[in-house]
Amino acid sequence: MTDTYDYDLIVIGAGSAGFSAAITAAEAGKRLALIGHGTIGGTCVNVGCVPSKTMIRAAEALHGAKAAERFPGLQGEARVDDWAALVAAKDDLVGTLREKKYADLLPGYENVTYIDEGPARLVDGGVEVGERKVTAPKIIIATGGRPAVPEIAGIDAVPTLDSTQLLDLETLPESLIFLGGGYVGVELAQMMARMGVAVTIVCRSRLLPQAEPEVGGALADALRAEGVLIMDGVAYGGARRNSDRAILIVMRNGETHDLTADHIVLTTGRRPNTEGLGLVEMGIKTDAHGAVVVGDDMQTTRPGIYAAGDVTDRDQFVYMAAYGAKLAARNAVLGGVERYDSAAMPWVVFTDPQVAGAGLTEAQAIKAGRTVKTSLISLNNVPRALAARDTRGLIKLLADAETDHLLGGVIMAPEGADCVQTLVMALKFGMTIKALGETIFPYLTTVEGLKLAAQTFDKDVAKLSCCAG
């Protein structure tokens, strides 16, 4: 193969998906070119998961001190003493992980050639990068995505920030307006509110519109209790500048509101990095949002060219990007016939309480023609929450009414993220709600709530003694 081509495989993009594909192929002895452009490591380590989650944890520490008063006899206090130092610590962590998990790995794979000579463009037989053409019979596109700018009149003329710029602010602002109620918006909005910023969330529908409606309402209640102003169900009328501040005009329930803040934070989704790749010329189909359309084998509409990660029309999570890229590499150059399967994919929103789920929502199950039954309990029914004096949240499970098999669920709880994998395993191995309800769980854990929610399908768990289920 390499007698006629420079490499067995070309991977475009040096983020999580790109590295996953490259390592998968390299470990199997394939020669490949990994083409990077910009900062190595991609979104997650540089501007996404790592920096945001360390800042969210810092905000949780602030809130934890102040929330100590929920226990009789306790009083706590904390404040932001040096914002610049906190940002610098975040940057140090990002730099360390970027080197350790990305740049420092490359020398260990002698059959990987890293090329960073400018943006890449697909051509027949390979890729043009910089002043040269690199050839291979198979290519994987893993160029990721970036924050989208909403189409609002005047938005370009006012002080705005994307999620990356927000986490790089040199000084802590006094006020912020967050556009969008998706997971990025609610995570960062709560984080900044806990840092002492006056925060408003504005969205067209509701918070977490893709999740169960009970979750969106409960999360809105939790954020409002911390002083966050939420204006949902709005239409955008435009934006304008007032000196060095931003004004957002919204319409809600027939009334017009002018909202003012130091910055408007754009958290209305992401758009794929496809410009300049030459997709149209290569006959590669994209969807209405510009994302590369791939089949379950991760192949595009151009035979021999695959794609993975945020550049595609698949799930926008770093672990799913790595998973899809691994499948793409195996199918492209290792003779694989693997198929993308997200039926039991976990997802997490790192608010407090955390929101985590897997499987179908009730609306998705009904749309798929399933006859469903649901169980819903508040954390007032979970002993762990009572002991912690923090009952913010709920657990909802969904089952097939005919077979009793679990179809999906969501956990909204302070420790929900660490509980969702139990739900994933139950879905993956086809458990019934009866089997889940009869499984032994440790007492005084949040994950015990899954058992209680499973039992709630046919009994009132409030009438059970501790561990009696």
Name the pTM for this structure.
0.95
- Residue 188 and residue 121 share a domain: no
Is residue 76 included in any domain, yes or no?
A: no
Please tell me whether residues 220 and 282 are part of one structural domain.
no
Number of H helices, E strands in the chain: 13, 23
Where residue 197 sits, what CATH number does that domain have? Answer: 3.50.50.60
Residue 399 belongs to some domain of the structure:
yes
CB neighbours of residue 210 within 10 Å: 14
Asked if 143 and 164 sit in the same domain, the reply is: no
Residue 352 sits in the same domain as residue 448: yes
Looking at residue 468, its pLDDT comes to 56
**Binding-site residues, please?**
53, 180-187, 269, 310
| 298 and 351 fall within a common domain | no
Q: Where is the domain boundary, 224, 246, 268?
A: 268
Looking at the structure, tell me whether residues 316 and 435 fall in a common domain. no
Contact 298, 320 (CB under 8 A): no
Residue 92, domain member (yes or no): no
Domain count, the chain: 3
Is the same domain home to 431 and 450? yes
Residues 143 and 278 in one domain: yes
Give the C-alpha separation, 461 to 457, whole Å. Answer: 10
Asked whether residue 262 falls in the same domain as residue 282, the answer is no
Residue 66 in domain: no
226, 246: one domain = yes
Which of 281, 298, 333 is at the close of a domain? 333
In a domain, residue 90? The reply is: no
Say if 466 falls within a structural domain. Answer: no
Binding-site positions for FAD: 53, 310
Q: Which residues pair with 96 in a beta bridge?
A: none
For helices 83-101 and 49-66, give the axis angle rounded to 10 degrees: 140
> Is residue 136 in a domain?
yes
Burial of 257 (0-12, 13-18, 19+ CB in 10 A): middle
Specify binding-site residues for NAD(+): 180-187, 269
Q: Indicate whether 173 belongs to any domain.
A: yes
Report the CATH number at residue 450.
3.30.390.30
Q: End of a domain among 247, 268, 289? A: 268
The residue segments making up the domain with residue 129 are 9-41+102-147+271-333
Do 262 and 292 share a domain, yes or no?
no
Query: Can you give the pLDDT of all 469 residues of the chain as single tens digits?
Result: 456 999 999 999 999 999 999 999 999 999 999 999 889 999 999 999 999 999 999 999 999 999 999 999 999 999 999 999 999 999 999 999 999 999 999 999 999 999 999 899 999 999 999 899 999 999 999 999 999 999 999 999 999 999 999 999 999 999 999 999 999 999 999 999 999 999 999 999 999 999 999 999 999 999 999 999 999 999 999 999 999 999 999 999 999 999 999 999 999 999 999 999 999 999 999 999 999 999 999 999 999 999 999 999 999 999 999 999 999 999 999 999 999 999 999 999 999 999 999 999 999 999 999 999 999 999 999 999 999 999 999 999 999 999 999 999 999 999 999 999 999 999 999 999 999 999 999 999 999 999 999 999 998 887 776 665 5
Q: In angstroms, rounded to a whole number, what is the distance separating the alpha carbons of residues 298 and 319? A: 15
Is the same domain home to 351 and 448? yes
Question: What pLDDT was estimated at residue 37?
Answer: 87
Kindly list the distances between the CA atom of residue 402 and the CA atoms of 24, 231, 409, in Å, as whole numbers in the listed order. Answer: 42, 40, 17
CA–CA distance from 301 to each of 30, 141, 285, 296 (Å)?
24, 13, 6, 12
